[in-house]
Structure 1
Amino acid sequence: MHDQNFPRAGLRAAAPISLACLLACLPAVPASAQVLAATLERVSVSGTAAGLAAPAGSPSRLGLSLQQTPASVTVIDREALEARGAANTQDLLKGVPGVVFADPPGSAGSVYYRGFGASSLAQLYNGISVQYDAIAARPVDSWIIERLEAIGGPSSFLNGSGAVGGTINVVTKVADTSGDLARLVVGLGDRAQLAGSWQRGLGDGGQVLRVELNRTEGALWTQGRDRSAWQASASWRAPLAPGLVHTLALERQHERVTQPYWGTPMLRSADGSVSGALRFDPGTYGINYNVVDGRYEQDVDWARSITEWTPSPGTRVSHTLYHYGALRDYDNVESYAFKAGNTRVERSSALLQRHDQRVSGSRLEVSQAASIAGRRSDFAFGWDWSFNQQTRFPLSVAGPFDLTDPYAPRDTYFLQTPGITRTYTPGATNLLRSFALFAENRTELGGGWAVVSALRADRIALDVRNHRAASASNPALFNTRFSPLTGRLGLVKDLSADWQVYAQASTAADPPAGVLATAGFSALRDFDLTRGQQVELGSKLGFDRGRGWATLAVYDIKRRHLAITDPNDRTQVIPVGAQSSRGVELNAHWRASAQWTLAAQASATRARYDDFVEVVGSATVSRAGNRPANVPVVVAGASADWRPNEALVLGADWRYVGQRYANTANTVWDGAYQLLGLNATLRITPQLSARLRVDNLTDRRYVASLSTSLPYLGAPRSFSGALDWRF
């Protein structure tokens, strides 16, 4: 691929929530700017601020620090989020070693971690899984995000099925005890933004109310593509009795993308095939072949009732009752391919799709500090129950529909596409019921040794109701049951107060194909869940009197019982496939002086199919030894921040992603790419700051998500700026 400028779409710098309306919602807060700044620093919990002694967060229910946790854990806190100018939750993943990601509209939660893709990862929201991560884990605007936590490798023992490659947990802002605050941000550039935070104590009883509002608008880089989104959250923290606190948290998300961009067709050889390195016509960059009234739209609601009880200093009880609702709509023509000697583009695959999902659940966690034979031994145990229902309403017409000019595609409209009507007819409903009991323990053995263990027993019931015509391959009703037992056993040794080494083994379970929220008879039949096992060795080191830290992890993961085509009968699927991944990850952060802060991440991954067969034409072909699609061998990144004085911070960041294959045959690939970013923050007054961010400084043209049908390109150079008023 060659570097050339992308065409630009014009910006529609509009902020539908008026500044006057937002200010009216923000009553005066008597906190000074200096007190507010101190408050924000206290909220920060990750290694960027507190080193390895900081809490690890969701990777354990024992309240362990990063040092005490026998796993590779990365925490990106609010301070780091703002320092890098992260626009959304996927931007935060740049700080997690080895992770690659993209947000194509059909699978906007497309994330790869330790050699495994979204169907084998757990992407949680406040510790809750909706079992539909590749779709539900769309990037969320970062304003309402408090931090992101990532744990590498199998971790079903924490949150249930999935998580062979790892777990990513997004934590949002809620009312806390950090004090009153009020904040307003106005952003301009490649997107317009208006956002506000308000938190205030109510009376003398310790009650706290917090409100977060965010609205973004903007034209995206491809032709005709616009995005409008808003998020609103409110939380109320109320002490009910000594040691007893209740928090009610409500959140609403809305997003609408008009004429979503599904990808750019690659050039084809004379026989119409694609092989070797991906090739593109520079004249098609930024061209959008979707129908002009195409859309993606979603509304998401979250409600959480969190009760925390501390009857004694060593005992903590927490219960979360939650509900999630999501309605997603797609109206698009999604496939485009060069034809006629790369002189015309053929459009096909019209899809009207609706997802209606509801999840309710209850989670109880009890932790107890205790001792065994005079040694400290902390326990945690509890239950996790959820009911997950999703109905899908697909209307698909394969086409093709037309041949159009690659550089000036003819305008077409969705409802004028042959065979398409706006009729929502249910296809299938998945009812997923799960109940789990879990326990964790950390016991100090003496001599700086500690053993950390976890165990989870799940009972999962899945009923799939087919609303269309029944057949042998798609019966009217299909049900299956799973009883996975997963766990972790780790050993940590303190070589000094600032240096630990660890070893751990962990397991996970997930479906042999697809995800449970949408999987049906063909994916599961009488199959059990796949089994994933990991062995990991690592070290964590604090240095320079607490101003720096570094972590190193070496891992080996095996996943067995994948669904593959039966080599002896290509009409059948059998659960005997296997996949493995070996790698090393390095993460480091150093506040070298009062002026300089440096950070770096690097990973090398050897992922491969050990046993995998797929159908090619009328034959079955083994892909054993090949690398999974979209998984690079090397991913690296670095950042540097320079504070020449108290008012100014200048920063730069670099990211490298190695070569990736587009298919399991490893016959199509895209080369490595590098991205550069710059940012600057200027404190104009103690209350007012200005921020500027440049992404993809060199205007590098790259493929964010590979496929042999329609690669999804990454964004070109972009600019954003914001005024941040804290009062």
Structure 2
Amino acid sequence: MKFLYRSPRCAVLCCALSFNALADSPVQLPQMRISADEQPATGLQLDTQGSTGSRLGLTPRETPASVSVVSRQQIEQRGAANTQDMLSGVPGMNAAASPGFAGFVSYRGFSGAQITQLFNGISVQYDAIAARPVDSWIYDRVEAVGGPSSFLYGAGAVGGSINYITKLPSRTESFNEGRISYGAYDSTETSFGFNHALNHGDGPRHYARLDVSHTTSNGYVDREQRDAWTTAFSLLTDFNDQLSHTLAYEYQNESVDSPYWGTPVLNPLGGKMEVDKSRRFENYNVADGRYEQRVQWLRSILDYQLDEHTSLRNTLYHYNADREYRNLETYAYNSNNTQVDRSGILLQRHAQELNGNRFELLHHNSLFGLDSQWSAGIDYSHNVMTSYPRSVSGSAGSVNPDDFDPGSFWDLPGMSRGFAKNRSNQVDTWAMFLENRLQLTDRLSLLSGLRHDQIDLQVTNYRAVTEANPAFFQRKYRPTTGRLGLVYELTPAANVYVQYSTAADPPAGILTTASYGQVRDFDLSTGNQWEVGSKFDYLDGRGSATLAAYRIERKNLSTADPNNPGNSLPVGQQSSRGVELATSLRVTPKLLAEGNFAYVDAQYDEFYESVGGRQVSRKGNSPTNTPDKVANLWLTYDLAPSWQVGGDARYVSSIYADAANTRYAPAYTIFGAFVGYQVDADTRITGRVRNLTDQVYARTTGSTQLYLGAPRTFELALQTRF
């Protein structure tokens, strides 16, 4: 298969040539393709144009899939401090993990690399780390689509895709805004933003937006301290009525001293996993433990309207990230729970750079006399990840939890200073994609999508060369994935849909970090989903709801060989089936209720685990850290024109810590409440309490430890526009 571009340099040249050639045409440019202008939205936003469930700019109601949107207004109303908090608005989604896998998400029975997390529609192919919690101030919204979606975003996404969408300039208003807050454990936020037109009159028109946030916290465990800056700047230029360009830059700088990795579980191990609640705030990491990251994004987005039926978009992007770890990460009690054995010594650095270009064409016409919308394009990316791990196996010694010196990382046995390059993974991806919506009748529409990827993996080893770790190896993958869906409009406010979709993803790990053993004998895993559902309004439009039922299968799984960790073993098949419900209801003019519930039955259909050199079947068991039930509820009540109160509740069922399903962390329910006072039209003061009952609960599990959620905390915030 031949493609238009041969290198990133050619992509840049093509973008520049198209810019120069199209600058003088006089056709009207559509606002939908280039504007971030939106009215404040509540509820499920079934009729708000999205960008994640389809490339055609369809609304969730028009899309034959589960598409969830958490708007900026909902982020602020619910007090979502970071991207993980934002995800609780998505039915069935559970997002939480220790710093080593801080981007971990469980969705529709799958997790890890089987969930694609996008940044403005771009995948960095390193989601478990790159998608760690980021302060929410710079984001306009988050969108999610459930189930296989490789046909939209490439390899991965068996369980679903998440898209974090950054704020961009608005043409319709000029404002300055700010937010300051203080909370428990000396948590602070100082955030500022502005949106302004830079000029008026004839000629090109420029609009700028800047959002900056600085947060600090002492952490809810001993000795943990966090300091983070997030910045997003964008410049929108309308050269004329049909040509527009957006330049967007983002920068994140985060550092955490003595990051918390978890709390050891009391012995004997087996059944319900419990911690010593009196040691809830203990931190067994070393005193000079460290996590830090520096992330930069640069996007150049060119929009051009050829005529009233056809538009073009070209997105040129650059991503650069450096991350460093210096930690003692694993803790376990001795047999009588009097000493904590510490292990997991790791010094790590990741250096990743991603460059790419995406060209898209939208066309609206008729096909066989029927109304038809088309999206087609070419996507290229060049992704290089270099890792510098230095780890020491075995115990780092035991400490008395009643009184211990955490010690220094550099005093740990076997550790030395300096980073040693391990290997570089280069992933080059070419893709062609096509999507169509055909209006078969006044009520019935057909949505189809197809994507073909050419993925080339090349890995260079900088360490000792062995049979299991050669100096160089490469693999090529050629997946083709798609979706076919029907939407039937029962009434203008209610529909039903059915869809079938497929996905392809790496069998073990992800390609940007894959070792020789993980990919040597394996092709990409494949997945497919059947889904039926309905989206409708009720009670004369005061309420809206979505309902979905699905079944997903993933084949050709693999896992690390316990007798030779550098190699992988085939383990067969995994599947899930479930239902999801979301609703929003204006119960009275003063009371708004929003909530969602999801149930999933996830299991290994074929899975043999090596135990003591013997293969043991885990067929029928549930994957680890996968709750079968997740529910959320938000209530908001207007006491008076200036006063508002509200509460929220979140339930997550128990999760297993091992493939044998012999150990589990119990279910939990946490509650929150807030009171808000509207000082004037532009200024609001909010007091908020999280985890009202001070519940001790585990957000995720490890083999010998639990990663505990935050205790009861308070926050007082002032937000204003001026």
**TM-score, normalised via structure 2 length:** 0.92
Counterpart in 2 of 1:196?
A: 192
Q: Which residue of structure 1 aligns with residue 3 of structure 2?
A: none
Q: Alignment partner for residue 395 of structure 2, among 400, 412, 415?
A: 400
Q: Equivalent residue for 2:102?
A: 108
Partner of 2:238: 239
Task: Name the structure 1 match of 2:12.
Answer: none
For residue 595 of structure 1, what is the aligned residue in structure 2?
590
State the match for 2:374 in structure 1.
379
Q: Of 168, 173, 186, which residue of structure 1 is paired with 2:167?
A: 173
8 A contact 2:354–2:381 mirrored in 1? yes
% same residue: 43
Structure 1 pair 137/374, CA: closer, same or farther in 2 (3 Å)? same
The 5 Å alignment of 1:610-621 reads: 610-621=605-616
1:93 has 2:87 as partner: yes
Picking from 187, 204, 216, the partner of 2:181 is: 187
Partner Cα distance (1:518, 1:343) in 2: 38
Distance between the aligned counterparts of 2:436 and 2:397, measured in 1?
Answer: 62
Residue 131 (structure 1) aligns with: 125
**Alpha carbons 1:583, 1:605 under 8 Å: kept:** yes
Moved more, 516-525 or 556-565: 556-565
Measured after TM superposition, the shift of residue 221 of structure 1 is 0.2
Amino acid paired to 1:440? E
Query: Does the CA contact (< 8 Å) of 1:45 and 1:54 recur in 2?
Result: no
Q: 1:360 to 1:502 in 2, by over 3 A?
A: same
Q: Give 1:131 deviation, angstroms.
A: 0.3
- What's the counterpart of residue 674 of structure 1? 669
**Residues in 2 aligned to 1:593 and 1:44: alpha-carbon distance in whole angstroms:** 22
C-alpha separation in 1, matches of 2:251 and 2:562: 48
Deviations 1:80-130 (A, max 9, x none): 001101000110111111111113100000110000012100001111100
Contact 2:205-2:239 at 8 Å conserved across structures:
no
Q: Say if 2:214 is the partner of 1:218.
A: no
1:159 to 1:565, Cα distance in 2 relative to 1, 3 A: closer
Structure 1 residues 51 and 261, CA gap change in structure 2 (3 angstroms): closer
Report the CA distance shift for 1:183/1:155 in structure 2 as closer, same or farther (over 3 A).
Answer: same
How far did 1:575 drift? 3.5
Q: Give me the whole-angstrom Cα distance separating, in 2, the residues matched to 1:398 and 1:709.
A: 16
Q: Pick which of 194-203 and 677-686 moved more.
A: 677-686
663, 680, 683: which one aligns with 1:685: 680
Counterpart for residue 561 of structure 1? 556
Q: 1:691: how far off? A: 1.2
* Residues 432-484 of structure 1, C-alpha deviations (whole Å, 9 max, x = no match): 00010000000001141100000000000001111100111111111000000
Alpha carbons of 1:473 and 1:299: their partners in 2 closer, same or farther (altered >3 Å)?
A: same
Q: Does 1:583 align with 2:582?
A: no
Moved more, 678-687 or 444-453: 678-687
* Counterpart Cα distance in 2 of 1:567 and 1:231: 40
Query: Structure 1 residue 232: deviation in Å?
Result: 1.3
Deviations for 1:478-535, whole angstroms, at most 9, x for unmatched residues?
1000000000000000000001000000001001110111012111103110000000
Task: Give the Cα separation in 1 of the matches to 2:643 and 2:211.
Answer: 27
The CA distance in 2 between the partners of 1:105 and 1:361, in whole Å, is 28
1:399 Cα deviation after fit: 3.4
Confirm or deny: 8 A CA contact 1:150 1:166 kept in the other structure: yes
Q: Structure 1 length normalisation: TM-score?
A: 0.92
Q: In the alignment, what sits opposite 2:19?
A: none
How far does residue 576 in structure 1 lie from its aligned partner after superposition? 5.3
- Report deviation, 1:688: 2.0
Distance 1:614 1:50, change over 3 A: closer
Where does the alignment leave 5 or more consecutive residues of structure 1 unmatched?
Answer: 1-39
Three-state SS of the structure 1 residue aligned to 2:705 is coil
Query: CA offsets, 1:30-69, max 9 Å, x none?
Result: xxxxxxxxxx9962476x2684221132211111111110
Q: 1:315 to 1:571 in 2, by over 3 A?
A: closer
**Structure 1 stretch displaced more, 135-144 or 591-600:** 591-600
Correspondence for 1:479 among 457, 474, 495: 474
Partner secondary structure for residue 90 of structure 1: helix
Letter in 2 for 1:134: A
Match of 2:59 in 1: 65
- CA distance change for structure 1 residues 75 and 565 in 2, over 3 Å: closer, same or farther? closer
Q: 1:208 to 1:150 in 2, by over 3 A?
A: same
Per-residue deviation at 1:567? 12
Alignment match, 1:147: 141
1:256 aligns to what?
A: 255
SS class of match (1:350) = strand
Where do 1:599-610 residues align within 5 Å? Answer: 599-610=594-605
Structure 1 pair 570–351 and aligned structure 2 pair: CA distance change class (3 A): closer
Deviates more, 1:203-212 or 1:532-541: 203-212
Mapped to 1, the partners of 2:528 and 2:250 lie a distance apart of 36
CA RMSD of aligned residues (A): 1.8
CA distance in 1, matches of 2:347, 2:45: 49
Q: Deviations over 1:608-667 (max 9, x none)?
A: 000111211221211111000111111111111001222122111111111111111000
1:478 touches 1:520 (CA, 8 Å); kept in 2?
A: no
Pick aligned residue for 2:619 from 613, 621, 624: 624
Pair 692,633 (structure 1): closer, same or farther in 2 beyond 3 Å? same
Residue 455 of structure 2: aligned partner: 460
Cα deviation code 1:117-165 (max 9, x no counterpart): 1210000111110000001101110100100001100000110011000
Q: In terms of mean alpha carbon deviation, does 316-325 or 560-569 score higher?
A: 560-569
Asked whether the equivalents of residues 571 and 608 of structure 2 are also in contact (C-alpha less than 8 Å), the reply is no
Shift of 1:687: 2.8
Aligned residue for 1:79, secondary structure, equals helix
Matches of 1:453 and 1:251 in 2, distance apart?
34
Residue type of the partner of 1:63? G
2:238 maps to a residue whose letter is: P
Tell me, yes or no, if the aligned pair for 2:517 and 2:566 is still in contact at 8 Å. no
CA offsets 1:380-426 (integer angstroms, 9 cap, x no match): 00011101001000010123122111132213001111222221110
CA–CA separation in structure 1 for the residues paired with 2:335 and 2:541: 64
The alignment partner of 1:80 has SS state of helix
* Partner residue, 1:18: none
In the other structure, the counterpart of 1:79 is 73
Measure, in 2, the Cα distance between the counterparts of 1:226 and 1:82.
Answer: 24
Pick the aligned partner of 1:516 from 505, 511, 520.
511
Deviates more, 1:475-484 or 1:416-425: 416-425
For 1:294 and 1:571, locate their aligned partners in 2 and report how far apart those are by CA, in whole Å. 28
CA change 1:78–1:690 in 2 (3 A) is same
Q: Is the 8 A contact 2:516 2:566 kept in 1?
A: no
Question: CA separation of 1:42/1:427 partners in 2, compared to 1, >3 Å: closer, same or farther?
Answer: closer
1:258-657 map, 5 Å: 258-269=257-268, 274-339=269-334, 341-564=336-559, 573-575=568-570, 577-657=572-652
Answer yes or no: is the 8 Å Cα contact 1:233–1:249 preserved in 2: yes
**Alpha-carbon distance in 1 for matches of 2:330, 2:560:** 26
Matched residue count:
683
Q: Contact 1:565 / 1:620 at 8 angstroms: preserved in 2?
A: no
**Does the Cα contact within 8 Å between 2:36 and 2:169 map onto a contact in 1?**
no
Q: Which amino acid aligns with 1:116?
A: F
Structure 2 Cα separation of the partners of residues 323 and 178 of structure 1: 29
Report deviation, 1:173. Answer: 0.6
Distance in 2 (CA, whole Å) between partners of 1:220 and 1:567 is: 36
The question of whether the paired residues in 2 share the 8 Å contact of 1:88 and 1:141 is answered with yes
SS of the aligned residue for 2:680 comes to: coil
| 1:129 alignment partner AA | S
Offset at 1:189?
1.1
Is the Cα–Cα contact under 8 Å of residues 560 and 576 in structure 1 kept in the other structure? no
**SS of corresponding position for 2:246:** strand
Contact 1:51 1:547 in 2 (8 A): no
**Helix, strand or coil at the partner of 1:711:** strand
Relative distance call for 1:725 and 1:41 in structure 2 (3 A) is farther
